[in-house]
Amino acid sequence: MKPFAQQTYYEILEVPVTAPMEDIHAAYKRLMELYAPDSIAVYALVDPDQVDALRARMTEAMEILTEPDLRVEYDKDLGLPALRLVEAATPAPSAVERAAESLSTAVAEKRDGAVTAETKGAPTEPPVAVEEEKPEKRRRSAEDAGEASNGVTSTGVQDFRASFFTGFSLGYVTSSFQMSPAMGSAVDVSAAMSRAESASSEAPVANASATEGGAVDARSRGGTHGEAATSSAGVEPRAVSAPTAVANGLQDAGSTPLPGDAAGQGSGEGTVAAEARSRAVSPAPQAHALSVPPSATTTVAEVASEAHALAASPSATTMGAEVVASEAQAMPASPSAPMPAPEAVVSHPQASASTPVAVPPAQVHASPAQPVASTGVMASAQVEASVVAAPASQAAATNTAPAVVASAPVTAQVEVSPAPQPVATTPVVAPPVSQIASQVADAPPVVTQTPASSELALASRPASRPSPGGRRLGDAQVLSQDAAIATAEAAMAQVAARVREVRPRIPDIPSDAEFNGELLRRVREARGYTLQQVADRTRISSRHLENVEADRYTALPAQVYLRGILMNLARELGLDPLRVSRSYLALAFEKSGKK
């Protein structure tokens, strides 16, 4: 039971957080009728201004929630998964079916050529994994997947698949977010924000011709327990129609505090120490930009991304873990793209639950180094993937963080090796440039994101999904800037709130102090009140107050009144009323000899 002023926009409009746009409009319309000034239902219920306030807030809620971008931002603030950017057009079941279908194809493909220049087969998100999820999560992720896939229909099959999976895996991340919303939100706003910031950009898939877009997504899911951290990393190089090929790395949520790890966040460091237990890992299609003209590189900012905490050891997971194939391919730069070939690739073992599949765990090293001209950041990632067939593979999480400074490119390497233990990543941060350090597993990475840096840092977040309505790569900058600003604001707001709470210090008052007029005056002044302000607030005439402070006992009213005055005054000053009145009256009695 909370007053409407504290309700979220969703609560205000009485819609589920997944409500599509039409529902929100409909709810708004209905509520405006219900709370219309002449509505009988609110007649005499509360003050008219309260109704007005409610209506204003509803309007605000409607405006925010019906604006996709704003809604995403708002969801981030709430710590909600940003699932519903795109309305789910596809019913969940079909999404699942599709998943199954592509799963099978992926498997088949994988069988034939694990290493090809292009990997298309996405390793598969085992449907089983889906199954394990709680129903609602499942629904969501399926939905998400559906959305994702929908968004991409126009693009090639591979892209479709890649993005499909991306969506899918994002769905998972999301759900994990959801699992621990309380923690996440409890923690602090800035954390939430930074999370938000990490949201990545999803690049719309452009034309396949230029590049083959692949999405790499690695994610580990944290269990519900705080111990697990979820990190998702997606790397999606995508070709944008412009000559510039951009590879975006999505950075993983790991760098931002995840909801899962409330503990880490509290401190504000944004570190997450967690061991990632990953249950489901998403497939990693990998990508490489094939034809990236070298010249393009100048304009391209590459983000290296990385990271991935992957799977936990099978035994660790409550259910058996299975690792599903991930194939990672490392494609060095395509011929056409000489050096700066962005490549990304990642692999990911997937651990999924029940059905053991023999899957090769993949190792990936990504060393991203890309020169970026304008931004001055380059990261190229190299990924090596080794495919091993190990039925039970454990993946270790690792991460990566490429920070690149213009002048001195720093390469980050990501290694994902199947190791039972999560590897900590070291974040590299270049202060002037911002960068993202992502971290994963147990290493608490510090997230430093300066606003400037935000351009590069993309974090992959559930929010991102390729959607027609989603953001384009080009928006990333804006987005991240906004996010950075929001983060800064949130931090400031927090500080401000803290400051506000502390009342100005009052002089130390010894426990045996006598409250004479002088002391009361000092306290008042320490509080920053003028005599008139106190008079207005206590409704004691300023003449009396003056007399009290001047210890003009004879000018003061009779004791009964004086006591009332003193008590009110003390209360206003935050002193103990009884003590003040007793002490002052004793003095008055003593000094004046009367009463």
The footprint of another protein (CB under 8 A) covers 1-4, 14, 34-35, 39-46, 50, 54
- Residue whose CB is less far from another protein, 47 or 112: 47
Q: What is the dihedral of CA 484, 453, 427, 80, to 10 degrees?
A: 30
Other residues' Cβ atoms within 10 Å of the Cβ of residue 301: 28
Q: How many whole angstroms separate alpha carbon 248 and alpha carbon 267? A: 30
Task: Quote the least distance from Cβ 215 to another protein, whole Å.
Answer: 43
- Residue whose CB is less far from another protein, 34 or 492: 34
Q: How many whole angstroms separate alpha carbon 327 and alpha carbon 475? A: 30
**What tokens were used for 398?**
């690792």
Q: How many whole angstroms separate alpha carbon 198 and alpha carbon 463? A: 9
Task: Quote the least distance from Cβ 94 to another protein, whole Å.
Answer: 35
Task: Quote the least distance from Cβ 1 to another protein, whole Å.
Answer: 3
The 414-416 sheet, strands edge to edge: 386-387, 362-366, 414-416
| Residue linked to tokens 């449907």 | 127
Task: Quote the least distance from Cβ 30 to another protein, whole Å.
Answer: 9
The 3-state DSSP class for residue 246 equals: strand
Would you mind telling me the total number of residues written for the chain in this entry? Answer: 595
Q: How many whole angstroms separate alpha carbon 413 and alpha carbon 233? A: 14
- Residue whose CB is less far from another protein, 45 or 389: 45
- Residue whose CB is less far from another protein, 41 or 502: 41
- Residue whose CB is less far from another protein, 34 or 70: 34
The answer to whether the CB of 414 falls within 8 A of the CB of 307 is yes
Percentages helix, strand, coil for the chain (3-state, rounded to 5) are: 40, 10, 50
The beta-strand segments (E) located in 429-542 are none
Q: How many whole angstroms separate alpha carbon 158 and alpha carbon 466? A: 14
- Residue whose CB is less far from another protein, 59 or 386: 59
Task: Quote the least distance from Cβ 372 to another protein, whole Å.
Answer: 52
Task: Quote the least distance from Cβ 50 to another protein, whole Å.
Answer: 7
How far, in whole angstroms, is CA 365 from its chain's centroid? 26
Task: Quote the least distance from Cβ 192 to another protein, whole Å.
Answer: 25
Task: Quote the least distance from Cβ 271 to another protein, whole Å.
Answer: 31
- Residue whose CB is less far from another protein, 12 or 239: 12
Contacts of 282 (CB under 8 A, 6+ apart): 125, 165, 166, 168, 169, 170, 172, 217, 218, 219, 232, 348, 350
- Residue whose CB is less far from another protein, 11 or 101: 11
- Residue whose CB is less far from another protein, 46 or 493: 46
Task: Quote the least distance from Cβ 55 to another protein, whole Å.
Answer: 11
